[in-house]
Structure 1
Amino acid sequence: MRRYISAAFIFLFSINILYSDAIFIGVASEFPPYQFNVEGKVTGFDVDVANLLFFKMGIDIIFVQDEWDRVFNMLRAGTIDAIVGIENNEIRRIYFEFSKAYYTREDVLFVRADNTEIKTLDDLTNKIITGDRHSYIELDWIEEGIINKFRIRQTESKSDSM
């Protein structure tokens, strides 16, 4: 269940470079080590990748950091030019064009260490599971026809899910 993560750039991105001194790139607030904030400074692996990429292209960037849903909707509304580190999936390809992936990661389920009754996926049947919207696990479960076995409570962020 390995998934690909990549930066999303929509067509407006290339138009904006012609008419602006900088482009605006959205990042999530609470997704360490990829995107987070330390003492008011936007940081993380995705931020480092974007900084290096756009520095090499000679393009100034301004990071816009907020809760994930807000960042996602800003890109859909065209108030920012790109999102760095967005998961590429079928739902998102309806709205955005994606670059090639620059890293991969695997989705996993976390269970509290003191929980001795959850050993398999079937043990989660009728349990409440938290996760951020459009997660790959949720999409895989839809595809496998098992999504209705679980009660998923969508959260604002991965941090809230934890």
Structure 2
Amino acid sequence: MNRGFITALTTIGLAQALKVPVHYSQTGKWDWCEMIKAGGMPSSHSAGVTALATYVGFKKGVSSIHFAIASILSVIVMYDAMGIRRQAGIIATEVNELEEAVGFLAEQHPELVHEKRGKQLEEKLGHLPEEVLAGAMLGICTGALSYAMEVKA
């Protein structure tokens, strides 16, 4: 199998698994659902693409077209995680708050008709810069480790 691919996927899984103890340290509650949620610490998107870029950089060299492609992909993914996806999460928070406010008004004024949504919008879609940085650091470590293990084998 393709070692770069395995390295990236393994790192994504590791980052997702790390979200559970990080969430526990922040809230005091174990929530195993954190493993499958978007957003949070560390960014698994950033970890995966950075692991791939790091592995490719060691394997093919930083002057290779392979490294250039992986690096540009990493920059785009990390920018998107902090930018567009984070803004979508902020908008989801605002929509959820608006839903609550309209529901409250409808309770106070029976003449208003308001049908509540079944569930709230997901708010944790993107990442804070420190979550992206933590994911990138994890990715650099796992990408380098994967290459080192390959060389020793």
Give the TM-score, by structure 1 length.
Answer: 0.24
Q: Pick the structure with greater CA Rg.
A: 2
More helix by share: 2
More strand by share: 1
Give the TM-score, by structure 2 length.
Answer: 0.25
Higher-RCO chain (CA-CA 8 Å, sequence separation at least 6) = 2
